[in-house]
C-alpha cells in the first residue's frame, strides 16, 4: 500500500544526494570489503531487491524503499510497469525488477564479476531505473517542465565521476521514452503519458518529439524488416500505439519546422528538426502523408494538420532532406534499428562491462548532431558493437530469431528514398 507524503521534489532530493556525493563509491567499497561468504554481486542483488544499500558500519544505509514503492504504486495504477519488463514467454510481469534481471543476465553471459567496475556499472543501472520511474512522475506536483530539467541534471550527476563514469542516457525526455518503451498490456498508460506531454511548453514538447520520432521509427523499422517481413498492414495492426506516438511527434516537429521557416531560423536547431521529421517518417511514410489508416482517424484533425503543413513546406523540406542523405562513410540514425530501446541499453551495458574504451550515450545513436560532437567514429563504433553483441548472444537470438540491434546503411538509404518519393508524390488535394 502506498504511503503518503512523497512528492516529486522529495524523491528528486533523495536521488540527488545519492548521485552527487560519495555515496555510490562508498556502496561499492562496502560490497567489495564486507567479510561475508556470498559474493559482492550477490550482495548488490539483494540490495537492489530491498532498495537498501549499505555504506559501511559508520554511515547510515541509503534506503530508497519508500520512494520506489510510492512512485511505483502511482505508476502501476495508471497501467505502466516502469521497473519491470514484460516476460513474453510467461506472458506476465516478472517478480524481480529490471536491474536485478539485468544483473542476473550479465552473470549468465559471463560479463560481470566481483570487480569495482562491474559493481559500479550495475549500481548505476539501478539508479537509472529509479530515475526512469521518477521521470514519469514529473507531472505529479510542481512544474512539469522544471521537473524534467531536474531529471536531466540528475542524469548528468549519474554519469559523473562519482559513479562508473559512463553516460548511458543524456536527457530526461529520452529517458521518458525509454521508461515506456516496454510492452504493457494496458494501453491506457501509454496514452496518458502522451497526453501529459501535450501539457508541456513548446520547448519541452519539441525535446520530447525529437527522441520520440527516432525511437519509435527505429522500433518500427526493426519490426517491418524482421517481424512483419515488409508487410506494412501487419505492422500497422500490431503497433497502433506506436503510430499514435509518432503522429504526436511528427506534428510537433512539423509545427516547429513551419515556425522556423516563418521566422527565418537556420542552423543546428533547424537541422535537428529536419532530421527528426525524416527519421519519424522513415518506417511508414504512407501512414502520415497519404490518407490516415483507420486506427488513426480518431486523430484525424492532427493528421490533417500535419499533411497540410507538410504540403505547404514541401519544397523547402525536400531540399533540406537532401542534406540528410545517409551514406556508408558517416553514421546516420536511419541505419540504427532495435526492437525496443531497452534491448539496446542491455547490449550497451554488456559492452561496457567488457570494453575498456569510453562509450557515448544512447542519445548519440538517435541524432546526427550528437554523434558528430563525439570523437570521430565513436557513434559508429558503439552501434557496431551493440549489433555484434546482439548477433553473438545465443540466448537472445537462438532459434533463428533476428538480432535485437541492427545497423545497416543500405537500409537507411532505402528508407530515405521511400520518404523522399512519398513526400514528392503527396496528393495536392488534402
Best CA proximity match to 314, nearest among 272, 285, 336: 285
Q: How far does CA 144 lie from the centroid of its chain?
A: 19
Q: What is the pLDDT of residue 394?
A: 46
pTM: 0.93
Pairing mode, strands 405-407 and 336-338: antiparallel
Q: Where are the domains of the chain?
A: 8-179, 201-430
The alpha carbon dihedral of 170, 171, 172, 176 has a sign of negative
Q: What is the pLDDT of residue 185?
A: 66
E strand or H helix that includes residue 234: helix 232-238
Phi-psi region of 60 (alpha: psi -120 to 50; beta: other; left: phi over 0): beta
What three-state secondary structure class fits 51? coil
Residues of the chain where predicted confidence (pLDDT) is lower than 50:
1-2, 394, 397-399
Q: What is the pLDDT of residue 399?
A: 40
What three-state secondary structure class fits 102? helix
Burial of 430 (0-12, 13-18, 19+ CB in 10 A): exposed
Going by C-beta distance under 8 Å and a sequence separation of 6 or more, which residues neighbour residue 45? Answer: 100, 103, 104
Q: What is the pLDDT of residue 410?
A: 94
Q: What is the pLDDT of residue 141?
A: 94
Q: What is the DSSP letter of 405?
A: E
Amino acid at each position: 500500500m502506498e504511503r503518503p507524503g512523497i512528492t516529486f521534489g522529495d524523491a528528486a532530493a533523495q536521488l540527488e544526494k545519492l548521485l552527487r556525493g560519495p555515496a555510490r563509491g562508498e556502496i561499492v567499497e562496502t560490497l567489495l570489503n564486507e567479510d561475508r561468504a556470498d559474493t559482492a554481486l550477490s550482495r548488490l542483488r539483494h540490495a537492489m531487491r530491498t532498495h537498501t544499500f549499505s555504506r559501511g558500519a559508520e554511515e547510515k544505509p541509503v534506503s530508497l524503499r519508500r520512494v520506489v514503492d510510492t512512485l511505483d504504486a502511482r505508476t502501476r495504477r495508471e497501467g505502466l510497469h516502469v521497473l519491470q519488463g514484460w516476460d513474453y514467454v510467461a506472458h506476465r510481469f516478472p517478480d524481480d525488477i529490471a536491474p536485478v534481471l539485468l544483473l542476473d543476465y550479465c552473470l549468465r553471459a559471463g560479463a560481470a564479476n566481483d570487480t569495482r567496475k562491474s559493481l559500479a556499472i550495475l549500481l548505476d543501472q539501478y539508479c537509472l531505473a529509479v530515475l526512469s520511474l521518477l521521470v514519469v512522475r514529473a507531472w505529479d506536483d510542481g512544474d512539469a517542465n522544471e521537473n524534467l530539467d531536474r531529471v536531466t541534471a540528475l542524469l548528468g550527476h549519474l554519469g559523473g565521476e562519482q559513479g562508473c563514469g559512463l553516460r548511458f542516457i543524456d536527457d530526461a525526455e529520452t529517458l521518458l521514452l525509454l521508461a515506456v518503451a516496454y510492452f504493457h498490456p494496458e494501453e491506457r498508460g501509454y496514452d496518458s503519458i502522451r497526453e501529459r506531454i501535450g501539457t508541456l511548453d513548446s520547448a519541452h514538447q519539441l525535446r520530447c518529439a525529437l527522441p520520440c520520432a527516432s525511437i519509435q521509427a527505429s522500433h518500427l523499422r526493426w519490426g517491418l524488416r524482421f517481424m512483419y517481413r515488409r508487410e506494412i498492414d501487419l505492422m500497422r495492426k500490431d503497433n497502433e500505439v506506436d503510430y499514435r506516438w509518432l503522429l504526436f511527434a511528427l506534428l510537433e516537429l512539423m509545427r516547429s519546422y513551419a515556425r522556423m521557416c516563418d521566422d527565418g531560423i537556420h542552423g543546428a536547431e533547424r537541422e535537428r528538426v529536419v532530421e527528426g521529421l525524416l527519421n519519424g517518417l522513415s518506417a511508414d511514410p504512407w501512414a502520415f502523408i497519404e490518407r490516415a489508416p483507420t486506427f488513426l482517424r480518431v486523430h484525424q484533425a492532427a493528421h490533417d494538420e500535419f499533411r497540410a503543413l507538410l504540403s505547404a513546406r514541401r519544397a523547402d523540406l525536400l531540399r533540406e532532406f537532401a542534406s540528410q542523405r545517409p551514406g556508408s562513410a558517416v553514421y546516420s540514425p536511419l541505419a540504427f534499428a532495435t526492437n525496443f530501446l531497452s534491448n539496446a541499453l542491455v547490449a550497451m551495458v554488456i559492452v561496457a562491462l567488457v570494453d575498456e574504451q569510453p562509450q557515448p550515450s544512447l542519445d548519440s545513436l538517435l541524432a546526427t548532431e550528437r554523434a558528430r560532437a563525439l570523437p570521430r567514429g565513436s557513434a559508429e563504433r558503439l552501434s557496431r558493437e551493440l549489433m555484434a553483441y546482439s548477433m553473438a548472444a545465443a540466448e537472445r537470438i537462438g532459434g533463428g530469431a533476428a538480432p535485437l540491434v541492427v545497423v545497416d546503411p543500405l537500409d537507411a538509404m532505402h528508407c530515405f528514398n521511400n520518404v523522399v518519393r512519398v513526400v514528392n508524390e503527396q496528393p495536392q488535394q488534402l
